[in-house]
């Protein structure tokens, strides 16, 4: 559709530049269309500026032909032909070229509005309609050039070609969203007729006749709607097209779709994505799409700063902040801060100063660029970009230390960038910069950074507090996380504080508490939403970086661009070398030369720099185009050259990669142990260091903060247990997600719970090492077990989909309970079953996996003591009651059919003892299933759960 618009816009341009009177009669439709982008907050890309910037080409003949809605010269002069041929091939109908003020006659709508019968075709004809328009549009830019455009012929060809590609059109369609966005801020003569005009001509119903006001393009919602009422004078349209109605969301969706499909595409072709980082590919796609749009005569949209900072950036930062590896981050905080603050300052001033020198020496073109402008430029270009860093570093899987150093730097340098940017921008307006201004600027750095953090913390605490009460409305839990974080970001931006730091602070602060409060499904939701948003944002950002490159104005000055690039690299390398030399004096783990190289090399620039540059005001910074060109060059260089070579370099240098293992419970235990140990040692030797204060903070947190922010028992949960819960949940969720369906075998394998006297537990040590075969066997069993767990969880999931919260909670609890038990038994099986029992693989599998099919209880099993869990006391193995349990174990054998059906048993099969604890008593059908839950990690165990005190009422059963 936009082709139409374009054509129109081109056509109208003369109008605009013409005296006001002539310009006036732009159909209202246009205004309506234009306005929409303004009102609509989420138009991702303001393309207006770009299209505006193009000098409007003289309107060639064929243009007018193509415009069905072209403004007729005089209000009265309606050229019916121009309108009526609309659906048919327009190329053939020559029109009087310039019909300046368009006074769309009623004829237009009529022509457009096909009678119902024709209306039926509407959807189909649409592409053809567009096609001619496109075809017409294509030559238009050419026409803008020196040579007069070839008349209709090419247009027709283009139309034909394009007609075949409705999809291409669709993809391109969104290019013009927000065309009107920046209309106001642009110099008037650049106001082309809003592109939507074309659309209005094409599809709208409203007679543009009355549209007198072109100026307030964006302010006529009411009128527009009024028109709609006025127009219908013909047969009631059974089917019509009202593209304008859906245009903005439609185009936004198309852009996003394009982004996603591209992303998808890259991963379908593994050979490409293994060599070239995704970010590069996306930029290339952006370039291509931009080129295509341009080739078609449209002005590609530009990545607008507002859109970028308000909508595209926050998801990425929130994702990074919420899932920030806090421990590594705090452990390296000093290093990160030094790199982020000192390093960025150094880069900015070094680069700014040198560029100033270059400008002074560089000849007539550059002489006018002052020191402040150069410093501003330096501050824009010196910041490492989190989006680019994330995109590249996540692909190369560098080790955590380097990752957090570079990435942390890119996050924290935001404050410096913001301050420097505003500082220099302000200074540029001043006549004179006094020392006071500088001091104030210095102060504002602290205000901006600490203020940002403060805002973030406030919102984080509020979010945590809110999540305390969401237990009854689980559905909206995730929303709180997003909204509060976004509010934090916006609030910080409101005061020109560092929004990025606010976002990170809020994410970091709220996370532990929120996660303790919300359900696991909500947690999964948060995780997926964040990942989804951030990856879409990232994709869009890179694509639009490419598109804007094509779209923007460039002023290429060799001296300036090359020296920028050169000094950027030099500043980065020097900065890293000097700073690491300094930092290494204080670090336990020194940064090796390799590390330094990667840190220096990983200093990628990205869209933030571009957007900041784009924000510059033409009035004060006439050299904006040159700045932008230089910035884009640096971005492309870092993303393409450094981004593409960093992976081979990492391999070449054998930089340590990230270990892909998940964090294990052992790690957690040892980490905690070490933390306490180091705290203890610090205490003993009387040194108040890192660990000492961390310990104090933790204690404070546990004592006061958690009580306020976390609902229920969890607040008392020590970190280890919390971690344990989390892991277990994660596992459960993962299993469910990947799980298959299957019947749950529910027969009891008594032997599997066969007791080894608990007192003999230490005997395990005497267990002889098993042979390789046995190990293999055990592993196989483990695997089998895993599958069963999956099945079990699956059914659990199915069940709880419809369950109410209480049931769900109970379910989870039961599950946990079972897992503990099962683990217990498993352990016993595994580790304590006498060696000879393992002789037969089948047997051992039966025992360990408690697979009922593979194992038939042996006669002698009755002679063996059987462990069952005593309802009253959770210490299962210890409380073996031989007398009672023996029969139970046997009687429990027959699988209960219900369990097969339901998977997780929701009710107590044998409410043997009527205590509250009873709830968790495994019925006979229950205990066997326990066995299946095994994973290496079991459950934290029967801590008293919040629900535990309540009498159990099996819901709905």
Least distance to another protein from the beta carbon of 700, Å? 12
CA 454 to chain centroid, in Å, comes to: 24
- Which of 372, 374, 370 lies closest to 382, judged by CA? 374
Contact segment (CB under 8 A) with another protein among 88-96, 283-291, 562-570, 665-673 equals: 665-673
And the tokens for 698?
A: 């933790």
Choice between 430 and 688, CB closer to another protein: 688
Q: Choose between 81 and 692: whose C-beta lies nearer to another protein.
A: 692
**Minimum CB distance to another protein smaller for 19 or for 768:** 768
Distance (Å, whole) CA 865 – CA 849? 19
Q: What does R_g of the chain's alpha carbons equal in angstroms?
A: 34
**Do 536 and 387 touch, CB atoms closer than 8 A?**
no
Q: How far apart (Å, rounded) are the C-alpha atoms in residues 842 and 781?
A: 10
Taking CB under 8 A as the binding criterion, the range among 71-79, 179-187, 341-349, 660-668 that sits at the site for another protein is 660-668
Interacting residue with another protein among 199, 227, 298, 331 (CB under 8 A): 331
Is 561 exposed, middle or buried, given 0-12, 13-18 or 19+ CB atoms closer than 10 A?
Answer: buried
Q: How far apart are CA 582 and CA 220, in angstroms?
A: 61
Per the listing, tokens 């201004």 go with 437
To the nearest whole angstrom, how small is the minimum distance from the Cβ of residue 868 to another protein? 16
Can you tell me whether residue 116 is helix, strand or coil? helix
Q: Closest CB to another protein among 617 and 667?
A: 667
Return the residues of window 196-215 that contact another protein according to CB under 8 A. none
Tokens encoding 93: 């109908």
Beta carbons of 605 and 384 less than 8 angstroms apart: yes
Minimum CB separation from another protein for residue 715, in Å? 10
Tell me the sheet residues that pair with 657. 398
Nearest in space to 355 (alpha carbons), one of 591, 559, 647: 559
Non-local (6+) Cβ contacts of 385 within 8 A are: 410, 604, 605, 606, 607, 608, 609, 635
Beta bridge partners of 46: 302
Looking at the DSSP bridge assignments, the partners of residue 866 are: 754
678: contact with another protein by CB under 8 A: yes
User: Within 928-957, which residues bind another protein (CB under 8 A)?
Assistant: 936-944
State which residue, 267 or 687, has the beta carbon closest to another protein: 687
Can residue 778 be called a binding residue for another protein (CB under 8 A)? yes
CB of 942 to another protein, least distance (A): 6
762 touching another protein, by CB under 8 A: yes
**Restricting to residues 570-609, which ones interact with another protein according to CB under 8 A?**
584, 586-590
Question: At 139, which helix (H) or strand (E)?
Answer: helix 139-144
Q: In this structure, how many other beta carbons lie within 10 angstroms of the beta carbon of residue 25?
A: 25
Q: With binding defined as CB under 8 A, does residue 334 bind another protein?
A: yes
| CA–CA–CA angle 207, 211, 217 (5° rounding) | 120
CB under 8 A: which stretch of 520-528, 609-617, 761-769, 884-892 binds another protein? 761-769
Q: Is 699 a residue that touches another protein (CB under 8 A)?
A: yes
Examine residue 667 and tell whether it contacts another protein (CB under 8 A): yes
Footprint on residues 93-112 left by another protein (CB under 8 A): none
**Nearest alpha carbon to residue 298 among 136, 181, 150:** 136
- What part of residues 845-884 is at the interface with another protein (CB under 8 A)? 874-875
Cβ at position 335, least distance to another protein in Å: 7
Residues 126 and 113: their CA atoms lie apart, in Å, by 13
Residue 721 found at the interface with another protein (CB under 8 A): yes
Cα separation, 289 vs 2, in Å, equals 14
Q: How far is the CB of 638 from another protein (least distance, A)?
A: 25
Q: For residue 866, is it left (φ>0), alpha (ψ between -120 and 50) or beta?
A: beta
In contact, 169 and 162? CB cutoff 8 Å: yes
Among 253, 666, 891, 916, binds another protein (CB under 8 A): 666
Query: According to CB under 8 A, which residues from 335 to 374 bind another protein?
Result: 335
Q: Which residue is listed with tokens 């783990």?
A: 589
**Residue number, 42 or 669, with CB nearest to another protein:** 669
DSSP assignment of 281-323 = HHHHHHHHHHHHHHHTTPPPPB--HHHIIIIIHHHHHHHHHHT
Residue among 368 and 779 whose Cβ is closer to another protein: 779
Out of 681, 697, 708, 882, the residue judged to bind another protein by CB under 8 A = 681
Site for another protein in 288-307 (CB under 8 A): none
> At closest approach, how far in Å is the CB of 514 from another protein?
21
Residue from 153, 674, 872, 953 binding another protein (CB under 8 A): 674
Stretches 81-89, 129-137, 561-569, 684-692: which one binds another protein (CB under 8 A)? Answer: 684-692
Size of the site for another protein (CB under 8 A): 84
SS (H, E, C) 722-756: HHHHHHHHHHHHHHHHHCCCCCCCCCCCHHHHECC
State the nearest-atom distance from the C-beta of 765 to another protein, in Å. Answer: 4
* Shortest distance in whole angstroms from residue 649 CB to another protein: 20
Using the rule CB under 8 A, which residue among 359, 536, 820, 867 binds another protein?
820
One residue of 254, 310, 761, 803 binding another protein per CB under 8 A:
761
Whole-angstrom distance between the N-terminal and C-terminal Cα of the chain?
A: 58
Residues 238-267 that bind another protein (CB under 8 A): none
User: 825, 930 in Cβ contact below 8 A?
Assistant: yes
How far is residue 97's CA from residue 873's CA, in Å, rounded to a whole number? 94
Among 118, 401, 447, 653, binds another protein (CB under 8 A): 401
* CA 485 – CA 506 distance, rounded (Å): 6
Check residue 760 for interaction with another protein (CB under 8 A). Answer: no
Residue whose C-alpha is closest to residue 488's, from 460, 449, 468, 466 = 460
Least CB distance to another protein at residue 671 (A): 6
Among 42, 153, 532, 669, which residue interacts with another protein (rule: CB under 8 A)?
669
Residues between 138 and 167 that touch another protein (CB under 8 A): none
Q: Does 679 bind another protein (CB under 8 A)?
A: yes
- Taking the complex as a whole, the smallest distance from the CB of residue 449 to another protein amounts, in Å, to 20
Question: Is residue 659 involved in binding another protein (CB under 8 A)?
Answer: yes
Candidates 276-284, 324-332, 468-476, 639-647; binding stretch for another protein (CB under 8 A)? 324-332
Rounded to whole angstroms, the Cα distance separating 351 from 357 reads 10
Given the rule CB under 8 A, which of 221-229, 293-301, 368-376, 655-663 is the region that contacts another protein?
A: 655-663
Name which position in 436, 652, 654, 685 contacts another protein (CB under 8 A).
685
Query: Is 196 in contact with 30 (CB distance < 8 Å)?
Result: yes
Residue of 121, 532, 708, 767 interacting with another protein (CB under 8 A) = 767
Binding residue for another protein, selected from 267, 397, 716, 743, defined by CB under 8 A: 716
Q: Is 707 an interacting residue with respect to another protein (CB under 8 A)?
A: no
- Does residue 764 interact with another protein by CB under 8 A? yes
Could you give the angle at the alpha carbon of 706 between the alpha carbons of 704 and 711, nearest 5°?
130
Q: Which residue stretch of 144-152, 204-212, 821-829, 850-858 sits at the interface with another protein (rule: CB under 8 A)?
A: 821-829
| CA–CA gap between residue 868 and residue 883 (Å, rounded) | 11
């Amino acid at each position: 559709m936009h082709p139409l618009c374009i054509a129109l816009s081109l056509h109208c341009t003369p109008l605009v530049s013409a005296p006001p009177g002539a310009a006036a009669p732009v159909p209202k439709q246009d205004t309506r269309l234009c306005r929409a982008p303004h009102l609509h907050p989420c138009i991702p890309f303001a393309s207006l500026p770009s299209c505006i910037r193009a000098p409007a080409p003289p309107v060639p003949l064929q243009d007018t032909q193509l415009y069905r809605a072209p403004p007729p010269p005089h209000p009265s002069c309606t050229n019916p032909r121009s309108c009526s041929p609309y659906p048919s091939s327009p190329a053939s109908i020559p029109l009087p070229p310039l019909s300046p003020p368009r006074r769309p006659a009623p004829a237009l709508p009529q022509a457009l509005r096909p009678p119902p019968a024709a209306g039926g075709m509407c959807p189909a004809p649409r592409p053809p309609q567009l096609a001619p328009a496109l075809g017409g549009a294509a030559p238009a830019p050419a026409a803008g050039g020196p040579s007069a455009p070839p008349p209709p012929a090419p247009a027709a060809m283009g139309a034909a070609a394009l007609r075949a590609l409705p999809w291409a059109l669709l993809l391109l369609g969104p290019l013009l969203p927000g065309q009107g966005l920046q209309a106001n801020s642009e110099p008037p003569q650049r106001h082309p007729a809003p592109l939507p005009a074309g659309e209005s001509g094409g599809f709208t119903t409203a007679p543009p006749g009355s549209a007198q006001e072109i100026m307030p393009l964006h302010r006529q919602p009411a009128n527009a709607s009024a028109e709609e009422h006025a127009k219908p004078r013909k047969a009631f349209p059974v089917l019509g097209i009202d593209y304008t109605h859906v245009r903005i969301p439609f185009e936004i969706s198309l852009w996003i779709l394009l982004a996603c499909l591209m992303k998808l595409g890259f991963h379908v072709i593994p050979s490409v994505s293994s060599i070239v980082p995704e970010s590069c590919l996306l930029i290339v796609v952006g370039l291509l799409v931009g080129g295509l749009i341009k080739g078609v005569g449209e002005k590609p949209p530009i990545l607008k700063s507002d859109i970028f900072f308000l909508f595209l950036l926050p998801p990425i930062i929130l994702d990074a902040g919420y899932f920030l590896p806090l421990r590594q981050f705090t452990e390296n905080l000093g290093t990160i801060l030094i790199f982020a603050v000192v390093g960025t300052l150094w880069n900015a001033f070094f680069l700014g100063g040198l560029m100033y020198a270059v400008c002074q020496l560089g000849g007539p073109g550059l002489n006018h660029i002052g020191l402040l402008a150069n410093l501003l430029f330096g501050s824009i270009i010196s910041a490492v970009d989190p989006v680019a860093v994330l995109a590249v570093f996540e692909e190369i899987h560098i080790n955590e230390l380097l990752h957090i150093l570079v990435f942390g730097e890119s996050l924290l340098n935001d404050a410096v960038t913001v301050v420097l940017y505003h500082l220099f921008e302000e200074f540029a307006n001043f006549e004179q910069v006094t020392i006071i201004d500088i001091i104030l600027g210095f102060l504002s750095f602290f205000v901006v950074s600490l203020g940002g953090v403060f805002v973030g913390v406030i919102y984080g605490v509020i979010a945590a507090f809110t999540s305390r009460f969401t237990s009854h409305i689980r559905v909206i839990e995730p929303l709180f996380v997003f909204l509060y974080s976004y509010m934090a970001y916006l609030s910080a931006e409101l005061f020109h504080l560092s929004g990025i730091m606010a976002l990170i602070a809020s994410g970091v602060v709220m996370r532990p508490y929120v996660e303790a409060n919300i359900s696991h499904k909500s947690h999964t939701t948060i995780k997926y939403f964040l990942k989804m948003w951030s990856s879409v944002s990232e994709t869009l950002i890179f694509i639009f970086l490419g598109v804007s490159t094509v779209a923007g104005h460039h002023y290429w000055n060799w001296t300036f661009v090359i020296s920028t690039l050169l000094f950027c690299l030099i500043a980065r390398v020097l900065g890293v070398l000097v700073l690491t030399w300094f930092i290494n004096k204080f670090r336990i783990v020194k940064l090796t030369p390799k590390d330094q190289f990667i840190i220096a090399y990983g200093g990628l620039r990205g869209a933030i720099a571009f957007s900041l540059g784009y924000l510059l005001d033409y009035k004060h910074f006439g050299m904006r185009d040159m700045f932008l060109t230089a910035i884009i060059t640096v971005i492309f260089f870092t993303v393409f050259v450094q981004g593409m070579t960093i992976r081979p370099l990492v391999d070449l240098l054998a930089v340590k990669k990230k270990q892909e293992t998940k964090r294990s419970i052992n790690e957690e235990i040892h980490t905690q142990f070490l933390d306490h140990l180091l705290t203890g040692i610090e205490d003993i030797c009387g040194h108040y260091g890192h660990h000492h204060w961390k310990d104090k903070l933790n204690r404070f947190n546990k004592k006061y903060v958690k009580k306020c922010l976390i609902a229920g028992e969890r607040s008392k949960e020590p970190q280890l247990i919390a971690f344990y819960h989390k892991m277990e949940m994660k596992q459960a969720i993962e299993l469910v997600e990947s799980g298959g369906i299957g019947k749950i075998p529910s027969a009891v394998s008594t032997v599997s719970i066969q007791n080894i006297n608990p007192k003999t537990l230490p005997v395990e040590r005497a267990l002889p090492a098993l042979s390789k075969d046995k190990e293999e066997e055990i592993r196989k069993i483990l695997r089998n077990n895993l599958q069963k767990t999956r099945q079990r969880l699956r059914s659990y999931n199915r069940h709880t989909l419809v369950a109410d919260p209480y049931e769900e909670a109970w379910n989870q609890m039961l599950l946990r309970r079972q897992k503990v038990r099962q683990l217990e038994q498993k352990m016993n099986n595994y580790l304590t079953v006498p060696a000879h029992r393992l002789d037969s693989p089948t047997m051992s599998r039966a025992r360990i996996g408690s697979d009922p099919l593979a194992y038939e209880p042996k006669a002698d099993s009755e002679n063996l003591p059987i462990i069952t869990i005593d309802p009253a006391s959770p210490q299962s193995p210890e409380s073996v009651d031989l007398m009672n349990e023996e029969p139970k174990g046997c009687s429990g054998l027959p699988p209960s059919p219900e369990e097969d059906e339901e998977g997780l048993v929701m009710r107590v099969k044998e409410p043997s003892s009527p205590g509250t604890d009873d709830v968790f008593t495994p019925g006979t059908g229950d205990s066997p299933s326990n066995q299946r839950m095994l994973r290496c990690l079991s459950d934290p165990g029967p801590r008293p759960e919040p629900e535990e005190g309540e009498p159990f009422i099996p819901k709905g059963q």
